[in-house]
Amino acid sequence: MLLQDIIAAKRDGQTLSREAIRHFVMAIADDSAGNEQIGAFAMATYLNGMSLDETVALTEATRDSGSRLDYRSLDLPGPVLDKHSTGGVGDPVSLILGPWLAACGAHVPMISGRGLGHTGGTLDKLEAIGGYNVTPERATFERLLKDVGVVIVGQSGDLAPADKRLYAVRDVTATVSSLPLIVASILGKKLAENLDGLVMDVKIGNGAFLESDAHTRQLASTIADVARQAGTPTTALLTDMNQTLAESAGNAIEVHECLAILRGERRDSRLLQLTRRLAVETLLVGGIAKDRETAAARLDACLANGQVAERFERMVAGLGGPSDLLSQAPAHLVGAPVVRDVFAQQPGVVSAQDVKAIGMAVVALGGGRRRAGDAIDHRVGIDQIAGIGQAVDDHRPVARIHAASDDNAQRVAAQLRDAFTVADQAPALPLVHDTLPDPSLAGDLR
């Protein structure tokens, strides 16, 4: 099968066979396809799309292009579960969700990514913790997965290698925002974790990865359909990104907010509410709970008795971080030298946030990346972010900047102020716009 024939078929709007797709993806992985061929394939797919069956084939071939995680030798007593998010701002859900699921009997091999553009990345947040190693030896990974139940690390080179090449070419050929390519890229990596169940947190709103809400809804339903057809029970949620989820955005700063929740100091936050909702769906899809009430009761008990905090601390220590993070956070999370309030021009309530602009303010402070591979400053970011409906005036700022210097704080302050609209009243925003439960659970959930 010639690669150029496969490209021509897609260029001419034909449906590709499973074999043709697999052949092309393997050629990407073993370097026999040139970048120009990968670019042409990506553009033909961008312009002509793919059917559901083609997208499943592309996803499975991407998943199989490298090694898959294998837990047989570990004899795990519970299901292997994970959550994946399409990326948000002020969104450290994974740091709480992973240990929470582990405390409820799941095993969570969470392979996470770094922040790029306006969205943050779980690995960057964890690397704000002194000593945390996101690339442990395989033996350490397996021991933590079995004994602690959760291990959050980076992607090794041999996991879905075809995606790494294809994504790099998409990035420079204006083909990132192709639905089948996005789905195969996200799921190719996730399903290589060999999961018993997956929950997809698809962000919708002005801070989401895709700009159009209609496109985002289509992404959520396609991801759920493709993952199920590829054999992984999956529930997808469309969750709100018209405001930051946490009250902070940055790296060390978001870890602090998570620690406050784990220590039981915060029980009223949107971050905790959404994490709990995602955890309920994950316990259901993984068969740990039969219905939402049972799942929620189990989750609440684990959080209240400190087991979630304990799992988090054991994971951090097992990956080279401190063993006393919860009680000694300031010693292990370096803070920024300059802290400055940003006030609205007039008093009122916050009626809208430009979430992308808030994310880009973090980038401007040095806490995020414009290009993959850029160094970041884990200390900087924003906290006390006023949510939609929060009253602000000349005592209550719209947010507080943590910067490396006065100059940086000054430069970002106006940009950050403009990201908040202040009016007389605010709309009520849902936390979850829609849930697409795995069909095997439909009886319980409707």
Is 83 one of the annotated active-site residues of the chain? Answer: yes
* Among 312, 42, 14, CA closest to 184: 42
Q: Which is nearer to ligand URA, 10 or 190 (CB)?
A: 190
For this structure, is 94 an active site residue? no
| Sheet strands (E) in 233-374 | 234-240, 249-250, 338-342, 348-353
The answer to whether 65 is a known catalytic residue is: no
Of these residues, 65, 122, 232, 275, which one is catalytic?
Answer: 122
Catalytic residue among 10, 84, 217, 402: 84
Inter-residue contact 315 to 103 (CB < 8 Å): no
Among 213, 274, 253, 245, which residue's Cα sits nearest to residue 88?
245
Least distance in Å: CB of 192 to ligand URA?
Answer: 12
85 tagged catalytic = yes
Q: Is 185 a catalytic residue?
A: yes
Distance CA(119)–CA(112), nearest Å, equals 13
State which residue, 6 or 181, has the beta carbon closest to ligand URA: 181
Q: Rounded to the nearest whole angstrom, what is the least distance from the CB of residue 223 to ligand URA in the complex?
A: 11
Shortest Cβ 124–ligand URA spacing (Å): 15
> For 161, what's the count of Cα atoms within 13 Å in the CB-facing half-sphere?
12
Reduce the DSSP state of residue 256 to 3 states and report it.
helix
Of these residues, 64, 82, 196, 354, which one is catalytic?
Answer: 82
Tell me the closest approach of the beta carbon of residue 6 to ligand URA, in angstroms.
Answer: 20
Distances 199 to 44, 85, 196, 300 between C-alpha atoms, Å: 30, 9, 11, 19
Nearer to ligand URA, 29 or 272 (CB): 29
Which residue in the shown chain puts its C-beta closest to ligand URA? 185
> What does the alpha-carbon distance between residue 411 and residue 408 come to, in Å, rounded to a whole number?
5
Residue ranges that bind ligand URA, judged by CB under 6 A: 167, 176, 181-182, 185-186
Helix axes 292-304, 270-285, angle to 10 degrees: 120
Active site (annotated) includes residue 300 = no
Is 332 tagged catalytic? no
Nearest distance from residue 315's CB to ligand URA, in Å?
23
Distance, CA of 228 to chain centre: 20
Kindly tell me which of 176 and 296 has the beta carbon lying closer to ligand URA.
Answer: 176
Active site residues: 82-85, 122, 170, 185, 189-190
